[in-house]
C-alpha cells in the first residue's frame, strides 16, 4: 500500500492503522463494549443487584419470563401463603385467571402476596363462590426479559456482566496508567542519566524481574483485605518493569541524537529535555506496550477475582462472575458463557488492536 509522501509520522501511523482491518474492527468492538458497560445497565430494565427469587438460573433467551415452567411452582408457593390451593390457572392476553380453593373461607387480604412476588401485578377479584371458599381472581402477569438469563440469586446476568465490565475495564485502564507513569519516568531517568546510575537502576529492575510476582500480588491482596485501590496499586506496581525497559532502551538511543545534544548545548535542563524531547519520542513503542498491557492486567484481575482474592461482593467483575458460573456449571452453563464471552471479546479485541498498532508504528513498514 502506498501513502502520500511527507505526512508527519503520527498521521502516517494513524492512516496505516485505519487501513488495518483487524485493528479497526477491534477498536470498534472496544468502543461498543465500553459504551455498553457505561450506559447498558440503565437500559436492561433490571438493576444489577435486583433479585428475582422466583426466577433463579433462567437460561438466556428473548422469550418473556416467567414462562409456564416457572409460573406454576411460583403460583403454588404463593397460594400456600394465601392458605389456599390453585384449582385452576389460565393465561389469556397476559392476564392470569386464577381459581383458588380452600377448606375454609379465603381471606382476600392474602392476595397482597401476589404483587409482592415480582411476577404479578395488582389482582382483581372476579367472583366469590362457595361461601368464600372458592375465589376467582384476574391478575396481570409481568413480562420480564433476561437476554443472558439470571444467576443463582435470580439477578439479571446481562446487567451484572455490564456492571462487572465497568470494574474490569476500570482496573485495566488505571493499572496500566500507573504502570505507564512509573515505567516512563523510571526508564527515561535511567536512560538519560546513563553510567553508574543507569546500571544500578536497571539492576533493581533485574532483581524485580526474578520475583514471583503473582504470588506477591496475592500476598498483598489477601493480607491487606482486597480493595479496589489495592488491587490497582498491586497490579500497577508489578507491571511497570517492561515499560521501564522499553523506555530506557529508546532513551539511550535518543540520547546520542543531534537534536537532543543541541538542546543540551542550548542549556535546557535535564527535566525539560526529557519532557520535551525524550518522552514524546518514546510514545510509539510505549503505546503498543500499553495496549498489550491492558488485557494482561484485566486477565490478572479476573484471575485474582476467580480465586476469590480480588474484587469482593457486592462489587463484581468478570472474574467473579466467571467463578460463579464455573461453580454452577452443571446446572446452569449459561452463567459461565455470558461473562466469559464479554471477557474473551475484550481481550481478543485489545490484543488485536495492540498488534495492529505495532504494525502501524513499525518504522520499517513500507509506507
Interface contacts to another protein, rule CB under 8 A: 207, 210-216, 218-220, 222-225, 295, 299, 302-303, 306-307, 309, 319, 322-323, 325-326, 329-330, 333, 336, 340, 343-344, 347-348, 351-352, 355
Q: Of the two residues 254 and 292, which places its CB atom closer to another protein in the complex? A: 292
* Structural element, H or E, at residue 269: none
Least Cβ distance, residue 221 to another protein (angstroms): 9
Specify the residue, 75 or 241, whose C-beta has the smaller distance to another protein: 241
For the chain, how are helix, strand and coil distributed in percent, rounded to 5?
A: 65, 10, 25
| Closer Cβ to another protein, 119 or 349, answer by number | 349
Beta bridge partners of 125: 137
Q: Cβ of residue 324: shortest distance to another protein, in angstroms?
A: 11
Residue 213 CB, shortest distance to another protein, in Å, is 8
DSSP code of residue 149: -
Neighbours of 156 (CB within 10 A): 28
CB of 155 to another protein, least distance (A): 20
44 within 8 A of 155, measured Cβ to Cβ: no
Identify how many contiguous H helices and E strands the chain contains and give both numbers.
13, 6
Q: Provide the minimum distance between the beta carbon of 14 and another protein in the complex, in angstroms, as a whole number.
A: 23
Is residue 233 within 8 Å of residue 182, measured between CB atoms?
no
Looking at the Cβ atoms of 62 and 215, the one nearer to another protein is: 215
- E strand or H helix that includes residue 129: strand 124-129
Distance, in Å, from the CA atom of 120 to the CA atom of 142, rounded to the nearest integer, reads 5
Q: Which residue has the cell 404463593?
A: 78
What DSSP string describes 89-104?
EEEETTEEEEEEE-SS
What is the full DSSP assignment across 22-80? HHHHHHHHHHHHHHHHHHHHHHSSS-TT-B-TTSTTPPP-SSEES-HHHHHHHHHHHHH
- In 3D, which of 68, 134, 10, 28 has the Cα closest to residue 350? 28
Q: What Å distances lie between residue 169 and 44, 174, 299, 304, CA to CA?
A: 20, 8, 11, 15
Question: Between 102 and 291, whose beta carbon lies closer to another protein?
Answer: 291
| Interstrand relation of 85-92 and 95-101 (parallel, antiparallel or unpaired) | antiparallel
- Extract the C-alpha cell encoding 208: 524485580
When the beta carbons of 254 and 353 are compared against another protein, the nearer one is 353
Cβ 161 to another protein, closest distance in Å? 14
User: Which CB atom, from 13 or from 226, has the smaller least distance to another protein?
Assistant: 226
CB of 351 to another protein, least distance (A): 6
284 vs 295, beta carbon nearer another protein: 295
Residue 212 or 267 having the CB closest to another protein: 212
- Work out how close the CB of 285 gets to another protein at its nearest, in angstroms, rounded to a whole number: 16
Give me the least distance between CB of 148 and another protein, in Å please.
16
Amino acid at each position: 500500500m502506498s501513502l502520500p509522501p511527507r505526512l508527519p509520522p503520527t498521521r502516517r501511523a494513524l492512516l496505516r492503522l485505519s487501513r488495518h482491518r483487524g485493528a479497526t474492527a477491534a477498536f470498534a468492538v472496544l468502543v461498543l463494549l465500553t459504551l455498553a458497560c457505561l450506559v447498558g445497565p440503565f437500559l436492561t430494565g433490571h438493576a444489577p443487584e435486583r433479585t428475582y427469587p422466583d426466577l433463579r438460573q433462567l437460561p438466556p433467551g428473548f422469550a418473556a419470563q416467567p414462562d409456564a415452567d416457572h409460573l406454576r411452582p411460583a403460583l403454588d408457593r404463593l397460594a400456600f401463603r394465601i392458605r389456599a390451593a390453585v384449582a385452576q390457572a389460565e393465561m389469556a392476553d397476559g392476564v392470569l385467571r386464577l381459581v383458588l380453593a380452600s377448606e375454609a373461607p379465603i381471606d382476600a387480604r392474602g392476595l397482597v402476596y401476589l404483587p409482592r412476588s415480582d411476577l404479578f401485578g395488582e389482582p382483581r377479584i372476579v367472583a366469590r363462590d362457595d361461601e368464600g371458599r372458592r375465589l376467582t381472581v384476574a391478575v396481570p402477569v409481568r413480562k420480564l426479559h433476561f437476554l443472558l438469563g439470571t444467576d443463582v440469586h435470580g439477578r439479571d446476568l446481562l446487567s451484572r456482566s455490564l456492571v462487572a465490565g465497568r470494574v474490569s475495564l476500570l482496573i485495566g485502564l488505571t493499572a496500566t496508567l500507573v504502570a505507564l507513569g512509573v515505567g516512563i519516568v523510571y526508564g527515561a531517568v535511567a536512560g538519560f542519566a546513563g553510567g553508574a546510575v543507569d546500571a544500578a537502576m536497571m539492576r533493581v529492575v533485574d532483581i524485580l524481574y526474578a520475583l514471583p510476582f503473582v504470588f506477591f500480588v496475592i500476598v498483598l491482596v489477601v493480607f491487606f483485605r482486597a480493595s479496589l485501590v489495592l488491587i490497582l496499586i498491586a497490579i500497577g506496581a508489578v507491571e511497570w518493569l517492561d515499560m521501564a525497559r522499553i523506555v530506557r532502551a529508546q532513551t539511550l538511543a535518543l540520547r546520542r541524537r543531534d537534536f537532543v545534544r543541541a538542546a543540551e548545548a542550548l542549556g535546557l535542563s535535564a527535566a525539560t529535555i526529557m519532557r520535551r524531547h525524550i518522552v514524546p519520542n518514546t510514545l510509539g513503542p510505549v503505546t503498543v506496550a500499553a495496549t498489550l498491557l491492558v488485557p494482561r492486567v484485566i486477565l490478572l484481575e479476573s484471575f485474582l477475582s476467580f480465586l476469590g482474592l480480588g474484587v469482593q461482593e457486592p462489587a463484581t467483575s468478570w472474574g467473579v462472575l466467571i467463578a460463579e458460573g464455573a461453580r454452577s456449571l452443571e446446572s446452569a452453563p449459561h452463567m459461565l458463557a455470558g461473562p466469559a464471552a464479554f471477557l474473551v471479546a475484550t481481550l481478543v479485541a485489545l490484543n488485536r488492536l495492540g498488534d495492529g498498532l505495532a504494525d502501524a508504528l513499525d518504522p520499517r513498514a513500507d509506507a
